[in-house]
Structure 1
Amino acid sequence: MRTALVTGSSGFIGYHLCQRLLEDGFRVIGIDNLSDYYDVGLKRRRQAMLLQSPGFSVINQSIETEGFLGEVFERERPDVVVHLAAQAGVRHSLTDPRSYLCSNMRGTFELLEAARATKPAHMLLASTSSVYGANETMPYSETDRTDHQMSFYAATKKATECMAHSYAHLYDLPATMFRFFTVYGPWGRPDMALFKFTKAILNGEPIDVYNHGHMMRDFTYVTDLVQGIRLLIDVVPERPEEGVVPVEDSLSPVAPWRVVNIGNSQAIPLSEFISAIEEATGLQALRNPMNMQPGDVPATWADASLLHELTGYRPRTSLREGVQAFVDWYRDYYDIAGWPGTSLNSGDLRRISG
């Protein structure tokens, strides 16, 4: 039985990944500080469901606490580490950049220091499509230069890629960075577009449509992302002999380090995304056109051919399937009456607003 340590285990992606690893027979150690960035009750519900498995244990502590991760690594000796804990959100980084510095950069530093002392067989660290920043050539490829981040959030994630590379080079720590693209699905974060749009549409409230709707995203269903991570666990980077790397591979010439896109490889217009929510809810959205927000980009689109080359896998969930699954979960989680297309009473609205 392999031991996997997952930081951010009570988060949206962390919850789904832990479920998958438990199904595959891993012993899973979760770490999550249950931050109040969004509804802590949602995080506790995810955590409680994971704790139903005897193979799961969790420590509710902040990863940036000096020495904490070193003690955990020394005691548990994880074979695999998946680092998902981070302060997320482009827009929030405009108002609280210090939290990104602490969680994303200091937290990753503490993780790397712990791994240096007690070497796992493979570390996988979450990055983001936001690191592509001002790049205009799409689809984005892992071998593209990523020098012009548009938000402090993206800058901190790019920094963690560089930090992990240096430790991989210096201490021969195999590390895979994965860049994900607009992940969505059941148990999602309330600050994400699908959650906010669904909530507003059900409340009969307008949705904020940035850049007047001229936006495109590579929407990636959460179980597709998790499948990609799971398969990459067994694709351990090796330091290339004499620094020779295939042209299309992002493997470092000087370290056992690689970066991999995990995306659906489709740039979908925001209008189509909203239409899928309307279809799933049976209600029409009231659109509030707005200008582009600082730090945002008009489009993202993944070239996921390296993922396929390494694992044989391509994400396959259609947008409408994924959105319907989220709306079904949302309806069940908030126990919404009057579904679909009828008026909600005040009690229903309070549950949704809460």
Structure 2
Amino acid sequence: MALEKYGIAYTRISHTTSSSSQNASNLEEMPAHLRAFTERELTKAMKVTKATRIGDGSFGNVSKTVVKSLQHPKHHIKVAVRRYTSRNQVEQTYQEYATQTYQEYATQVKVLGAINHPNIVKLIGYVEDNVQMLVYEYMPNNSVFHHLYSSNTTPLSWNMRLKVAHDVARGIAYLHEASNFQVILGDFSSSNILLDENWNAKLADIRVAPHPNEVKNFLRKMHYVDPYKPPEYFMTVTTPMSNVWSYGVFLYELITGPRPKDTNRSKGEDALVEWVKPYVKTRDFISIIDPRLGAVYSMESVEKLSNIAKRCLAINPEMRPKMSEVLNMVSEIVASVSNTLEYPKKDDHPIKGNMKKWSFRALFCFK
């Protein structure tokens, strides 16, 4: 199903800049619930609150700050502000991929503003000046990447990992099949899956997949291979099946613990997908399960989740299941295990012996 069917094209990177008059017209008719900020307003808020940088990337950074609530002017709300790197701040190598025109920025805001789903980070507002800044809801429990790899945190329990797998599948299935338009994720990774105050996993940094040729040329220049990208990535257009592959990689990440690309492993096994193959083939799951889980997991659910990952990682894209099918399969696993979860405390240490009940009632629908 092409994006064009829904009146939305791939985001294309332009090498021209928009004028102020064009910018103004592009930002008209934004979703009514989105809040229009000025650069000065956000800059002042970040200065007053001594904003904390909570994320960095090649093309910008994310900072935590506080802004006044429109509903309750005397109250303040925590937000995350993403500021995209400007053209003159980026090396020439990155410019073709990193810089968006304001028309594309406006389209991005409209797309994000139209998305309303419990497993997708909510866009609160945007800057209408001649800068590219987006304001999102603040996610206090960091990223899944942080909880998988940080030495300062206790690893997520197996039931929590199943919940994360389910939440992520719900979010992607909604973007692919249940929203008013189709969005294909252009940057999927465990670092872009955030956890809210109730430990619900949400997809962050949602971007319509860029024009495939432009991104592929960028990646070739950088001599970089994204471990979440499918094998057909450089040969064809980006499709929903590309995200299904990425999700399969993520499932093995949850099951095993190592990063999708680990240079500490020998050549040929540095890619997680290749490393797990012989163990999956012999059904030797005990050798690949994350040792940090101890013995607190269901081997049956590990095998079932691994089988789903295997299906998602089919070399032939046509053999991969749709995300709605994946969601149904993961839902069955989740329903088969105990409906209790061990939630980490705010300091990232688990609550020993305090198992909180988790209701699945709302988890089996897209919206």
TM over 0.5: no
**TM-score, length basis structure 1:** 0.27
**TM-score, length basis structure 2:** 0.26
